[in-house]
Amino acid sequence: MKEERPPPHTNYLITKGATHMELNKYQLLLDLAETQNITRTAERLGYSQPGASHILKGIEKELGFPVVFREKYGVTLTPAAELLLPRIREIMAANEKLEQTIYSIKGLEYGKVTIGAYSSIAIHLLPKLLLEFKEAHPGIEIDIREGGADNILEWMDNNMIDFAFFSRPYARTMEFFPFGEDPLVAVLPKDYPTEGYGVFDMEKFENQPFIISAAGNDIDIHNALECSGITPNFHYSVLDDHTILAMVEGHLGVSILTELIVTGTEKKVKILPINPAYYRLLGIGMRHYSDLSPAAKTFVDFSKAHMGQIFDEVLNC
């Protein structure tokens, strides 16, 4: 039986109050907030550039105020439009959930799931998980956003993702399903003298030239240093884990990362367990499982059943 799918740009109307905005117009505004480029948004959503501009003018006419500043190299949303974004995301998420529920009732599996993930998880764990998931659930589309801890929490707060694969944020209340402990490790230049070391004591980082993951990117590494009372000589603060690895390889300093992050880099840098041992607890986090769409629940349930084994296989290979 041929799978039913809604036609592209289906016009669902929001009719409460004086504004009758079609959901495809909401989607255009959301995408424009991300791309800041009408041409790119038009390509992503299947419109012509003039068509997208026409829709945008229609949005401004219906709302009664400008929604973008038109600049030489693109557009930016006006403050008034920025205020609308959280509510628009709520409307779009509710509509997606409604569509998925309707299709679920009809015995069909359809939907889109947007997930957040650390880059290390996206690189080393998600490919196998997604391959297995798509084989079992081909009708569900997956969108992945990579970022650090602060990015992921912001996306979650603003309804930009359904759930995330990251480390447990102990300062936040959320539902969290752990799948593995990812040990922190010392990352050193390949010729760093470590004869006789089975582990790298945290005290040895004291006053060392240190390359730190930027604040808000990986809170677990910052917490380990704080708990140890160690104050390295912070030479560089870096967003990207692979940049840290390249800088250590280039003898610009030492660092602390995790086993998952350094997977496959053993020939480029020296890696040792740290003492005392620290780890980050990786899992699947969301505000409320019960509020997820049917497609998102399907992916979370599948991940809970498979991610632990995939994680163990990667760390023990």
- pLDDT tens, residue by residue, 31-89: 898 889 999 998 988 899 888 888 888 888 888 898 989 887 888 899 988 898 888 88
pLDDT at 106: 67
pLDDT recorded at residue 16 = 40
E strand residue ranges, 207-296: 209-213, 233-238, 255-258, 269-275, 279-286
Residue 29 tokens, joined: 């505004």
137: three-class secondary structure by DSSP: coil
Q: What percent of the chain has pLDDT over 70?
A: 92
Residue range 7-84, CATH number:
1.10.10.10
pLDDT score of 317 more than 80: no
- Rounded to 5 degrees, what angle do the CA atoms 187, 182, 209 make? 25
Say if residue 309's pLDDT is above 60.
Answer: yes
For the beta carbon of residue 16, count every other beta carbon within 10 angstroms. 7
Domain boundaries 179-280, corresponding CATH code: 3.40.190.290
In the chain, CATH 3.40.190.290 sits at: 179-280
- Cα distances (angstroms) measured from residue 289 to each of 75, 169, 239, 294, 300: 36, 17, 30, 10, 9
Confidence of residue 11 (pLDDT cuts 50, 70, 90): very low
- Pinpoint the residues of the chain covered by CATH 1.10.10.10: 7-84
- Residue 132: band (very low, low, confident or very high) from pLDDT cuts 50, 70, 90: very high
**pLDDT at 21 exceeding the cut of 80:** no
User: Would you say residue 7 has pLDDT above 60?
Assistant: no
Higher pLDDT, 163 or 6: 163
